[in-house]
Amino acid sequence: MRSQPSAEHDNFDDPLAGVEEVDESSEDDLWFLSGPIQENPDNLPPGPRGESRETAVLDDWRKAEAGHSARLARVAGRLGALDDRLRRGPEGWRHRLALIEAADLSWFVGDRIGPDRLALWHALRLSGVHDDTGALARVGWAVRRLTAGPGPEADLSAFLDRRDPGNLGNEAEPFADRAGGWLDLMAQAAALHPITRACMGFHLWSLAGLGRQGDHMEAAVTAARIAASEGKGVVFAPLSMGGAGGLRAGGPPTDRLARWLEGMHTASLTAMRHLDDIEGWSARAETEMSALSGKTPRALRAVLTEWPLVSAPMAEALTGASRAAVQRTFAWMEAKGLVREITGQGRYRIWRVSVRN
């Protein structure tokens, strides 16, 4: 009788034998396999975390401020003296310093608007044939923002007169978002001195995506207002009077802050000396013009105190006096050495105060 093949022999010959039994095995028996990645507990010790970019930037400026604390204190004291001087002085002094600062800033940004052209534009909206009205408008904006109004940290978009266009492209980041990012960083630096924060904000302006044509003017005016944000008499901190070296970029924050403080110190000294000259001139003019009758001499003296350069049409518009009365008073003041005509022309003449050194 032929013997039956054993079960063991059958399994060897049939390659599919036992497959069903393997498929039906319990997953609990597969203890040697790792589970899904997301189910593994995170038992590793925490490693070093990368420092955020904002934190690193703020730390650099904190270190820069600590390294220049003595110089910062001197500059803050100088700005405080200017603040007290303006608080006790006539309102026209602020306007006069704003015109000088804006004109100097225009040379720094490349617009090169002289004080005479700026005065004519700001007072009468007059421009020459070859004048760049766009540049004049930018500098005129600077005068307004350096004279009065809410500061940039209240509403940066309103301060800059900038809004997103209606046809903003999909790839363009809204200006409000860029301005918000810059303001957030400035808020994180609230513990820094306003002078240091102003310097930091100026140098981070372009990195925040706020730059455009004339952006250096906007950045400088914004920084000037922030630096003087704690003042009661001074509206802005002078940055460019006597030279704009403090606005030069390049180097780490400690180098930039050093140049900034040196530039502010020079500019504040220049502003104080200018006010000394104007105060002395005003006292002398008031004494010598006391014998003149009428409102025109007093009004013209006030205009010359407020404006660095004055033309006859400007004086006529600002005082409400007739052209003839203005010209007679200018001629009298020139004869007394109180004013000096700077054009040397018969027409379109411009006068400035004559300061005794």
DSSP letters, 55-121, are HHHHHHHHHHHHHTHHHHHHHHHHHHHHHHHHHHS-THHHHHHHHHHHHHHHHHHT----HHHHHHH
What SS3 class is residue 311?
A: strand
Instruction: Measure the CA–CA gap between 94 and 102, rounded to whole angstroms.
Output: 12
Once rounded to an integer, what is the mean pLDDT over residues 245-250? 93
Once rounded to an integer, what is the mean pLDDT over residues 209-229? 89
More confident residue, 104 or 169: 104
pLDDT above 60 for 169: no
Q: How many residues does the chain have?
A: 357
Which burial class, exposed, middle or buried, applies to 28 when counting CB atoms under 10 A from its CB (0-12, 13-18, 19+)? exposed
Number of C-beta neighbours around residue 125 at 10 A:
11
Instruction: Measure the CA–CA gap between 73 and 260, rounded to whole angstroms.
Output: 13
Q: Residue 130's pLDDT is what?
A: 52
Buried b (16+ CB within 10 A) or exposed e, 306-342: bbbbbbbebbbebbebeeebbeebbebbeeeebbeee
10's CB contacts (< 8 A; 6+ apart) are 17
Catalogue all structural domains in the chain, each as residue range(s) with its CATH number. Answer: 53-162+174-267 (no CATH), 289-353 (1.10.10.10)
Once rounded to an integer, what is the mean pLDDT over residues 203-216? 83
Q: 339-341 and 350-353: which strand pairing?
A: antiparallel
Strongest mean pLDDT among 111-125, 168-182, 333-347: 333-347
How much is the mean pLDDT over the chain?
84
Look at 23-37, 163-177, 312-326 and tell me which has the smallest mean pLDDT. 23-37
Helix or strand (DSSP H, E) at 350:
strand 350-353
Look at 22-31, 101-110, 296-305 and tell me which has the smallest mean pLDDT. 22-31
Tokens of 327: 């010209």
The pTM of the whole model exceeds 0.85: no
More confident residue, 346 or 223: 223
Helix or strand (DSSP H, E) at 156:
helix 156-160
Instruction: Measure the CA–CA gap between 11 and 31, rounded to whole angstroms.
Output: 27
pLDDT digits 0-9 by tens, 259-315:
999 999 999 999 999 999 999 999 999 999 999 999 999 999 999 999 999 999 999
pLDDT digits 0-9 by tens, 37-72:
444 444 555 544 445 678 899 999 999 999 999 999
pLDDT above 50 for 13: no
Confidence band for 166, pLDDT divided at 50, 70 and 90: low
Q: Residue 32's pLDDT is what?
A: 38
